[in-house]
Structure 1
């Protein structure tokens, strides 16, 4: 997706160019997918109310939304994971471990911005964070679905770290939940399982 559109979609609430409705964001994602599928797919969307909404919103937001920075800089092997990625992730993990969904959409938005700035190596994190943001903003949000999307995000971050030989920041550890066979990252030495929350907080083991 165009970087400017992505920045607009996940701008902080209340800021210039603040995000439109979930329906509109999904429409923009559909347009991006249609663009990859070919012109006929886009043609089917043109003329629809959703298409007109996107155009009107894009024009109104163009001057208000600043594109996210695209450094494309790959971290050096052995360096610590970027705090721009890990900090919002840990807030999401902590919320789910406490059986909460509040604030997750905003933190997923921060992850989208950080992953976009890192370029191609973080593409899977970018995609997973977008899907998590959409799940967290459902009305009402389904915590099971949010946890499922969080699992995909955790796998993407774990693969990113492994692929680039990065280390977690100091005090952050990687754990595995045997029930869902997915990793997660957390702070502290006491397990706080985000996939089962207060029901099974210590299910799992540190890697």
Structure 2
């Protein structure tokens, strides 16, 4: 009987350990929400809001350590967020969003950054992908001029 109880307890600890590993990382979740704010501001053609959102993303990325995220990816996120925040116009903000999105897609594929489904979307005209909280296409590369251009390429659960 003792043997079964011990086996049962080890099983529970193993399940709890696996569950703990699957939990969303709060720092990465905040980084993802900052990214979504940048994406949404670009989609609405809002230069000022994009600058502010990119500044917040930069602040979040700068407060993280390499335990949460690989240093190369963290540096790339900081670099692209800084470029976006300092750009002189919306076109100058959209160009570095390609690399920012590429890195964030990698982060999302390797880490649990949201409790909800994340949609990887793609615009063939821009030849660029981005992440979204929803299936509906709201294109950050073209904004109002081609807001619905694109499709869902994959889902990250």
TM-score for the superposition, normalised by structure 2: 0.69
Cross-structure match for 1:179: 125
1:181-200 equivalences under 5 Å are 181-200=127-146
Which one has a larger percent strand, Structure 1 or Structure 2?
Answer: 2
Q: What is the alpha-carbon root mean square deviation over aligned residues? A: 2.2
Count residues with an aligned counterpart.
126
Contact 1:78 1:167 in 2 (8 A): no
Q: Which has the higher contact order (CA 8 A, sep 6+)?
A: 2
Q: Displacement, 1:102?
A: 2.0
Offset of residue 168 of structure 1: 4.1
Q: Please give the alpha-carbon distance, in whole angstroms, between the structure 2 residues aligned to 1:170 and 1:194.
A: 21
Q: Is residue 100 of structure 1 aligned with residue 52 of structure 2?
A: no
Residues 65-104 of structure 1: pairs in structure 2 closer than 5 A: 78-80=22-24, 82-104=28-50
CA shift digits 1:147-188 (9 cap, x unpaired)? 1112221112112223x3435441542211222222111232
1:119 Cα deviation (Å)? 2.7
Q: What does the per-residue CA deviation read over 1:83-119, in whole Å, with 9 as the maximum and x for residues that have no partner?
A: 3212222122112111221222221121112212323
Specify the alignment match of 1:154 in structure 2. 101
Greater percentage in helix: 2
Are the structure 2 counterparts of residues 79 and 158 from structure 1 closer, same or farther at C-alpha, using a change threshold of 3 Å? Answer: farther
SS of match in other structure, 1:102: helix
3-state SS of 2:147 partner? coil
User: Which consecutive segments of 4 or more residues in structure 1 shift more than 3 A?
Assistant: 76-81, 165-169
